[in-house]
Structure 1
Amino acid sequence: MAFKAEYIWIDGTEPTAKLRSKTKIITGAFGGLGTLPIWGFDGSSTNQAEGHASDRVLRPVFSCPDPIRGGDDILVLCDVLDTDMTPHRSNTRAPLTEVAERFAAQEPIFGIEQEYTFFDGSRPLGFPENGFPAPQGGYYCGVGSDEIFGRDVVEAHLENCLKAGLAISGINAEVMPGQWEFQVGPVSPLEVSDHLWVARWLLYRTAEDFGVSATLDPKPVKGDWNGAGAHTNFSTKAMREGYEAIITACESLGEGSKPLDHVKNYGAGIDERLTGLHETAPWDKYTYGVSDRGASVRIPWQVEKDGKGYIEDRRPNANVDPYVVTRLLVDTCCSALEKAGQV
């Protein structure tokens, strides 16, 4: 008896990392994550090594059923190590693990809204061969073949994520033809990040079967069109119990160099998307407000009404590394809440 394990990892491509994967045939029955062997790959082909010392190590950190192959086959998300078994410089999961463990008592959880755009060749799906479609307006959460493009791919991807057991919590059409969103969470920092990376892999792999591609480009079409983000919803136990902690978290994100420290790590090309237009705040100006989609951080109206809940950081790009954005938010906000005695 044998099963296929698709080993998935994040490469060292800059400024935006890519997903890579390859298949390992494992003899015997799957006995859990801890029974999966480490593996290796050629790091010189993934921007993670030089040719004269090219071996890098794949260490399984998360596994789930493979919804595409089915049967007993699995998907295996790995982090990348050097051959001395220390985290590779491209391994952003390792520093998140440290921060998440340090602030675990505050019970931080996340929900990430992953926007993306389908392309048919060089054109966004639904764009005419010459010119542009009607201006944005009717596409968001729309219905009908004149406004919605790619729903068959989206539904197949949703089904694959559910079969894999990922914490996917919804989908919707976005404001531009061929642009969609899925949400992951609310779950812990490591879980939301692991699940989002696997959901991205499944998005690309599912789209292959339909002859289209999916991109996380933060500004896939220049001009008067919304960009693509990864709005990140965040809370701690204290924030879910009281409004004072909500304000402390929002204030902490605007202190000193924090706004620019975060933005520069929120995805390549962020200045093209965060212009102050199209439901964004300027990339170099930090603001927060209730029900304000033009602010850097939004406090939902229901949160203000209830006096507790979560905040939405609207700045991260669609191409953000979830390990990085969750680490930054936990580190900044949980440190401030700890200092204020609001834990």
Structure 2
Amino acid sequence: MDNLGKTNKQVLDRYLKLEADSGKIQLEYLWIDGTGEGIRSKCRTIDFVPKDVSELPIWNYDGSSTYQAEGSNSDMYLQPVAIFNDPFRLGNNKLVMCEVNKYNKLPADTNYRHTCREVMDRAKHEHPWFGIEQEYTMLSQDGHPFGWPKQGFPGPQGPYYCGVGANKVYGRDIVEAHYRACLYAGVKIAGCNAEVMPAQWEFQVGPCEGIDMGDHLWVARYILHRVSEDFGVVITLDPKPMPGDWNGAGAHTNYSTKSMREEGGLAHIEKAITKLSTKHDIHIKYYDPKEGEDNKRRLTGRHETSSIQDFSAGVANRGASIRIPRQVAEEGQGYLEDRRPASNCDPYRVTEIIVRTTVLDE
């Protein structure tokens, strides 16, 4: 069959199989843009296979095109901080997560990794572990939820969560492709499932210690957007993509310290919850890019959420701000789940404020 009978993807695969000039590899530099939600990337060639991220060069880009600088002084610097295998180009090619610095080498306004790293270094004696449950929604390119009727709505929520069948699940091919791509890249993806609203899914990343949580989740998000390109589907992390009687999307954050994971850890979990209760309003400002405005649409006290205005905690209670899993309560040690972070949160900010409050008492 000639090229005219092949899909664009098949044609692309032909070129991706070409072996590069000896020693040449491609690096895809990734960074967070000025919205605090978008992830951008650009590619460059180097002539060696890096063994550590410290070997990679600092690069730059036009910040006036990413909501981060004015055109008259637009250079922003990319500082490589984490390296992953590239599941799209394969071979020795890499994905490179970067911090962004301004022209004066100070952290960009949305470079929250900078302060998160400092906090995690100060709290390393407690070995903070995180696992984040990333919910997201698939959209057709017209902005309509993927698989939904073009006129009207699907049946009410109920059969879709962890569902099976063409009338209950939309977009499983994308989910499977994303999962395998994350495993190839070295992302610590832990699981996935269909969610309560049709066309809504979740994947989990973790356990990750300290700064790794943010690095791995951001790269997993990038891979999700890239995989979805191949299927012609758009991914949204909007916390309430469909108004009305539909579940929103969160980034439930599972968290523990060394003290919580050891015998008698439940007392440390309860102590941490008490500290979190006194800082509820501050945490809400850290849990979505608009300092709570996005989460107002989601944290209503309905659809498995707590109210944004009130702090609550309980065992196995998915309507609480903080949930203690039933098994943790029975075993007397383990972790807590903070159900407040929105799906479009910056995981660097979320993990930083949790550690500040519960370990550093700030």
Give the corresponding residue for 1:203.
Answer: 224
Moved more, 84-93 or 179-188: 84-93
Residue type of the alignment partner of 2:356 = D
Percent identity, aligned pairs only, is 52
Q: Could you say which residue in structure 1 is the equivalent of 2:52?
A: 32
Of 274, 281, 292, the match for 2:299? 274
One-letter amino acid of the counterpart of residue 55, structure 2: T
Q: What pairs up with 1:49-64 in 2 under 5 angstroms?
A: 49-64=69-84
For the aligned residues, what is the CA RMSD? 1.1
Which of 333, 343, 350 is residue 318 of structure 1 equivalent to?
A: 343
Following TM superposition, by how much is the alpha carbon of 1:243 offset from its aligned partner in structure 2, in angstroms? 1.2
**AA partner of residue 208 (structure 1):** E
Aligned equivalents of 1:125, 1:176: Cα separation in 2: 11
Gaps of 5+ in 2: 1-22
**2:101 corresponds to 1:81:** yes
1:157 aligns with 2:178: yes
1:252 alignment counterpart:
275
Q: Structure 2 length as normaliser, TM-score?
A: 0.90
Q: CA deviation at 1:33?
A: 1.1
Distance across 2 between alignment mates of 1:238 and 1:20: 38
Counterparts of 2:308 and 2:210 in 1: how far apart (Å)? Answer: 24
String of CA shifts for 1:245-269, please: whole Å, max 9, x gaps.
Answer: 01001110111xx101111221141
TM-score calculated relative to the size of structure 1: 0.95
Give 3-state SS (helix, strand or coil) of 2:360's partner: helix
> How many residues are aligned here?
333
Q: Which of 24, 43, 66 is 2:86 aligned to?
A: 66
Could you report, residue by residue, the CA deviation over 1:114-159 in whole angstroms, capped at 9, with x for unpaired residues? Answer: 0000001221112100000000111000001110000000000000
Could you tell which deviates more after superposition, 155-164 or 180-189? 180-189
CA shift for structure 1 position 240:
1.0
The answer to whether the 8 Å contact 2:37/2:345 transfers is: no
Q: Cα offset for 1:212?
A: 0.3
Structure 1's unaligned 5+ residue stretches are none
Letter in 2 for 1:239: M
Q: Distance in 1 between matches of 2:206 and 2:49?
A: 30
Q: SS state of the match for residue 239, structure 1?
A: helix
Q: Does 1:327 align with 2:352?
A: yes
Alignment partners' CA distance in 2, 1:317 and 1:283: 11
Q: What residue identity is the alignment partner of 2:76? A: R
Q: After alignment, is 309-318 or 264-273 more displaced?
A: 264-273
- The DSSP-based 3-state class of the residue aligned with 2:211 is helix
SS state at 1:317 partner: coil
**Partner SS for 1:192:** helix
Shift of 1:109: 0.5
Residue of structure 2 in register with 1:2 after alignment = 24
Partners of 2:360 and 2:80 lie apart in 1 by: 30
